[in-house]
Amino acid sequence: MDERRAIAVKISRHTVSLSEESLEQLAGMLIPRKLTKGELFLKEGEVARSMGLVAEGMIRQFYRKKKYEITEHITYEDHLFVCLESFIRQEPAYLCVEALEPCLIYEIPYIPLHEAMDRNPEILRLYCAVLESSLLISQRKADARCRQSAVERYRQLECEHPQIIKRAPQIYIASLLGMTPETLSRIRAGRI
């Protein structure tokens, strides 16, 4: 009777199966948006009305602290980004989102997503799986961060996200890794 096929969606190493219907529901709510290099997708103080799926290009999320900018995330093709506290609570964001390259983003807006999650537990389950996966990564990062040396943090990023090392400006990489640009430069020169 039921001839709908199930699709396996892989999130990190976790696999969630999704009916074609759910997949269509999800696809239906995506809003494509192009960004030029340097363009802001979201400014601090605005509410993050969407999560973003990067289809092409690279973006960074950063905040200001004593007139310095601190880069908190860098995201590229096939990865989700979201200003979490703003999106979850629909409150003003402290993060800005900026395109480091010309980008194609698919926005996943809050309201349709939550309506779909209310109607369709399968989509809620997928959202859960994304959260679980993000939480795993984030907890590991939180633990490792203050125990690793600058070199170790750099090597780990190099290993996990070579694209960031290749394509992002060093000042942002340094900021993302919590070190000064000078230190990053020395690490790259093999002088550390």
Partner DNA sequence: TTGATTTATTGATATAAATCAAGCCGCTCA
Partner DNA sequence: TGAGCGGCTTGATTTATATCAATAAATCAA
In the complex with a copy of itself, which residue's Cβ is closer, 35 or 174? 174
| Residue 169: CB minimum distance to a copy of itself, A | 19
Closest approach of a copy of itself to the CB of residue 102, in Å: 27
The end-to-end CA distance of the chain, in Å, is 65
C-alpha distances in angstroms, 97 versus 54, 72, 108? 12, 10, 15
Closest CA to 11 of 150, 138, 163, 129: 129
Instruction: Decide: 51 and 85 in contact? Cβ < 8 Å.
Output: no
Q: 126, 90 in Cβ contact below 8 A?
A: no
Could you tell which of DNA, a copy of itself, none binds residue 157, using a CB distance below 5 to 8 A set by kind? none
Residues 143-162 contacting DNA, CB under 7 A: 149-151
Does residue 180 bind DNA (CB under 7 A)?
A: yes
Among the residue ranges 1-9, 105-113, 141-149, 157-165, the one whose residues contact a copy of itself (CB under 8 A): 141-149
CA–CA separation, 32 and 74 (whole Å) = 20
Q: Choose among DNA, a copy of itself, none what residue 155 binds, the Cβ cut-off being 5 to 8 Å by kind.
A: none
For position 183 contacting DNA by CB under 7 A, the verdict is yes
The interface partner of residue 131, options being a copy of itself, DNA, none and the CB cut-off 5 to 8 Å by kind, is: a copy of itself
Give the residue carrying structure tokens 């010309």.
Answer: 102
d(CA 28, CA 159): 35
Cβ neighbourhood burial of 114 (10 Å; 0-12, 13-18, 19+):
middle
Residues that bind a copy of itself (CB under 8 A): 13-14, 70, 72, 84-85, 88-89, 118, 121, 124-125, 127-128, 131-132, 134-136, 138-139, 141-143, 145-148, 153, 177-178
Q: Which residues of this protein are in contact with DNA, per CB under 7 A?
A: 37, 149-151, 169-171, 178-186, 188-189, 191-192
